[in-house]
Amino acid sequence: MEEVLQWGLDSVRQIQTLAMIPGLTIFMRMITHIGSTAVYIFLFPLVYWCVDEKKGLRLAVVLFISTWINLALKFLLDQPRPFFEGYDPSVGIVAEIMGGFPSGHAQNSLVILIILASWSIIPGLSRAAHFCIAAFLCLLIGFSRIYLGVHFPTDVFGGWLLGGLVLAVYFWAGNRIEAWFESHNLRIGLMAAAALAFGMNMYRPSEYLLMPSGMILGLGIGCFLCRRYIGFSASLKDGTKTEKLLFLLVRYALGITAMALLYVAAGKFINGLRDSGNYHLYVFIRNALMAIWISAGAPWVFCKLRLARA
């Protein structure tokens, strides 16, 4: 294993010789953020509120399951990064705090970008062009992680492999699972989300794993409330293209601003309780509330303000 990691460290050093190219490091810092979970947490509400609520829910569920699997393996395997003590601290252009294998940026970017490509979301582009763009971005994000010295090449390859397995399950079983839930009572979906979330919490080496599990529970609750009491639809039937675009921009700006305020307010509350024995419970609840707002709270507000139809 040490021989493999040494080869990876030599690869990082070799790739970093490209830093002499003006602006490359700044560009790589920008590219690497595309693969971060934080970016996707802002992306899936955009799909849910402004494109298609069912696709947004699908994207969110797959994202948070993929994120939980990645984080669980990181803590379970506890593999080093190139800049950790015992290797070469000088190669770490950006900082990371947990284990390196598998790469979450590589895994989640592959999962999310390939799913988006399968929906052909950019008008005027062929399906093949969508997949080519997605593949190029995935390669670029993976390369940026090695260039920035936060991952060995094997971490990135492992992330792509795991992301491929998640995608295989999604494309093989996604429609079947959704059809099964559609044919049953809404409470079944709520119970399934609760069971999945609490099952995730059975393995809890860090508070970081409470984000995906809390989001899964919140999505289950929010979807139940939205389907039963609100009936939100992301599509707009009436109006010109300009009017529709304006409605969608107002929706997203309003929803994301309220989400950010909720996150900050809840964070200030629970940070004062860090020494409390219930601190992890509060973190879990905060993430669940965020997902409830995205999947039910914001749609309810949109319908009340006539920004969406019920």
Q: Examine the fold and report which residue of 151, 183, 215 is the final residue of a domain before the chain moves on.
A: 183
Question: 176 and 195 share a domain?
Answer: no
Q: How far apart are CA 98 and CA 151, in angstroms?
A: 11
Q: How far apart are CA 195 and CA 75, in angstroms?
A: 22
Record the pTM. 0.93
Q: How far apart are CA 125 and CA 276, in angstroms?
A: 53
For 271, what's the count of Cα atoms within 13 Å in the CB-facing half-sphere? 6
Distance of CA 131 to the CA centre of its chain: 19
Residue 310: Cβ within 10 Å count: 13
Question: 88 and 57 share a domain?
Answer: yes
pLDDT of 104: 95
Q: Which of 88, 99, 109, 108 is nearest to 15 (CA)?
A: 88
Question: 161 and 192 share a domain?
Answer: no
Its domain, for residue 153, covers 1-183
Question: 87 and 136 share a domain?
Answer: yes
For the segment 230-280, what is each residue's pLDDT rounded down to a tens digit? 989 988 877 788 888 898 999 999 999 999 999 999 888 887 777 777 888
β-partners of residue 309 are: 233
Question: 119 and 39 share a domain?
Answer: yes
Question: 128 and 212 share a domain?
Answer: no
Question: 283 and 203 share a domain?
Answer: yes
pLDDT of 205: 79
Question: 23 and 122 share a domain?
Answer: yes
| Dihedral over Cα of 197, 265, 32, 12: its sign | negative
Question: 135 and 232 share a domain?
Answer: no
Question: 299 and 150 share a domain?
Answer: no
Question: 116 and 205 share a domain?
Answer: no
What are the backbone dihedrals phi and psi of residue 35, each rounded to the nearest 5 degrees, phi first? -90, 5
Residue 85: Cβ within 10 Å count: 7
Q: How far apart are CA 96 and CA 104, in angstroms?
A: 12
β-partners of residue 233 are: 309
Q: Examine the fold and report which residue of 148, 183, 218 is the final residue of a domain before the chain moves on.
A: 183
Phi/psi class of residue 124: alpha, beta or left (left: φ > 0; alpha: ψ in -120 to 50)?
A: left
pLDDT of 85: 77
Question: 94 and 234 share a domain?
Answer: no
pLDDT of 70: 96
For residue 100, the 8-state DSSP code is: -
- Ranges of residues in the chain with a pLDDT under 70 are none
Burial class of residue 105, CB neighbours in 10 A (0-12, 13-18, 19+): buried
Structural domains counted in the chain: 2
Q: Examine the fold and report which residue of 149, 164, 183 is the final residue of a domain before the chain moves on.
A: 183
